[in-house]
Structure 1
Amino acid sequence: MHPFTMPPEIVARVVARCGREHPFDVLDPARTALVVIDMQNYFVAPGYLGEVPMARAVVPAINRLAAALRERGGHVAWVCNTTTDTADWSVLHEGLLSPAVRDRRRETMERDHPGHALYPALEVGPGDAHLAKNRFSAFIQGASAIEPHLRQRGIDTVLVAGTATNVCCESTARDAMMLNFRTLMISDALASFTDAEHAAALTGFYAIFGDVQTVDEAVASLDRGLARRAA
């Protein structure tokens, strides 16, 4: 996984603003969802156009956090990129991609293509949700059904994991916060193309938008939430 340490000056800024290092250090598992973004073969398996090699390294961390949250009564949602309508998003498909890349991307994003499937090493539970999105952010208007899905379950806290940290994951996390979800990016359950991109996304998000915790820190926050509920 990516080596990452939050810059001390950013930590100091957050502490000065909210009084503690982690704004969301107590999490009620019953009101928490792990939202796993784009851990599909297209982004994780070797040889695909969108491959993020580091994504394979964070699979164990994602599995561990998903299992811990399920055990404590929380919810896990697997969100898959299904952006295949090139006319509906012409800025991306005509302005930012070459025709060859656009066509290859569209083909391997089709639901019946192996590239669309979740990476097989992921441990998916029978009660987990499976949602499709057609934009980088799962929460932007019209992109997916994730907001009503979570609201109907009384969820107000979102843990974001998956790939790429600075693209779909950061976009999803920022929009979740804008919709009034308590949002955390899980630093060692996220992957990007380079260490620098990963670090920049986490630093920017933590400075303004929400919290950044490791898997171990998030599990400890969930346990504090359980203890508070029991008390």
Structure 2
Amino acid sequence: MHPFAIPESIAARVAGRCGTPHPFARLDARRTALVVIDMQNGFMRADVAHALCPMAEHVVSAINRLASGLRAAGGAVYWIQNTFDARCETEWSVMQAMATPEARARRAASMSEGTVGHALWPLLDVRIGDEVVRKYRYSAFIEGGSDLPARLRARGLDTVLIVGTVTNVCCESSARDAMMLNFRTVMVPDGCAAVTDAEHTASLLAFYLQFGDVLTVDECIAGFAPEERVAA
């Protein structure tokens, strides 16, 4: 997985603004959702990918471990699937116009429902009781992107942990929008994957400085523990 560390100077700036370098270190698991972004064959399997992220395969075990820990603590897991349909041609025409005809065709072939590319990566530990959500924009939280915000609120969930691929596009877009829709938002560095280490680091630090917290899988799981157990 990507190497990542928060520079002391950045942590000090966050602490100066928030009163602590990690404002969401304590997590009420019963109000928390793990949001797994775009961990699909179409980003991870070379023969069907329209936008391959080789690092994504290396964060699967971390995502599965966090999902298991959150379920055990009473939280919920949501698997988000990037999806192409006919509406993308008109309702998101700007994105289409920024791609070549060949790139548009590859995305349609890879991200349409029922294709191999659209399917979740087979080694993900998807369980009965988890939810699967179709996503039609980079962000799962923007209007027109998905019905995820309504689903979360219907279950009384106000905190989201963001993992998946790629860090600096769909993960960061979702995380920023989640915060601006009033969800307590955490990006998980060892659960996110980008094309390069530099893109991964820049994205996480930009998010951390203003939008939410950045916590590792271990830190998230520790944050689920009851207060008295942590103190002991």
Indicate the residue corresponding to 1:49 in structure 2: 50
Matches within 5 A, 1:120-199: 120-199=122-201
* 3-state secondary structure, aligned to 1:66: helix
Cα distance between partner residues in 1 of 2:90 and 2:117? 21
Partners of 2:84 and 2:113 within 8 A in 1: no
Q: CA deviation at 1:16?
A: 1.1
Indicate the residue corresponding to 2:117 in structure 1: 115
* 3-state secondary structure, aligned to 1:34: strand
Deviations 1:169-202, CA, capped at 9 Å, x for gaps: 0000000000000000001000000000000000
Distance 1:136 1:226, change over 3 A: farther
Q: CA deviation at 1:225?
A: 5.8
Q: CA deviation at 1:83?
A: 2.8
Deviations 1:5-57, CA, capped at 9 Å, x for gaps: 11211100011111212100111110000000000000112231211000000
Q: CA deviation at 1:207?
A: 0.4
Partners of 1:29 and 1:226 within 8 A in 2: no
Q: Structure 1: give runs of 5+ residues left out of the alignment.
A: none
Query: Does 16-25 or 124-133 show the bigger shift?
Result: 16-25
Cα distance between partner residues in 2 of 1:41 and 1:132? 15
Distance 1:167 1:49, change over 3 A: same
Counterpart of 1:200 (choices 202, 209, 213) is 202
Indicate the residue corresponding to 1:214 in structure 2: 216
Q: Which amino acid aligns with 1:164?
A: V
Partners of 2:60 and 2:123 within 8 A in 1: yes
| TM-score, reference length from structure 1 | 0.95
Indicate the residue corresponding to 2:76 in structure 1: 75
Q: Structure 2: give runs of 5+ residues left out of the alignment.
A: none
Name segments (4+ residues, structure 1) moved above 3 Å: 224-228
Q: CA deviation at 1:140?
A: 0.3
Q: CA deviation at 1:224?
A: 4.1
- What percent of counterpart residues are identical? 54
* 3-state secondary structure, aligned to 1:3: coil
Partners of 1:166 and 1:198 within 8 A in 2: yes
Cα distance between partner residues in 1 of 2:139 and 2:20? 28
Partners of 1:34 and 1:159 within 8 A in 2: yes
Between the two proteins, the alignment pairs up a number of residues equal to 227
Counterpart of 1:89 (choices 89, 92, 96) is 92
Query: Does 51-60 or 19-28 show the bigger shift?
Result: 19-28
Deviations 1:60-83, CA, capped at 9 Å, x for gaps: 000000000001110000010003
Cα distance between partner residues in 2 of 1:226 and 1:185? 26
* 3-state secondary structure, aligned to 1:33: strand
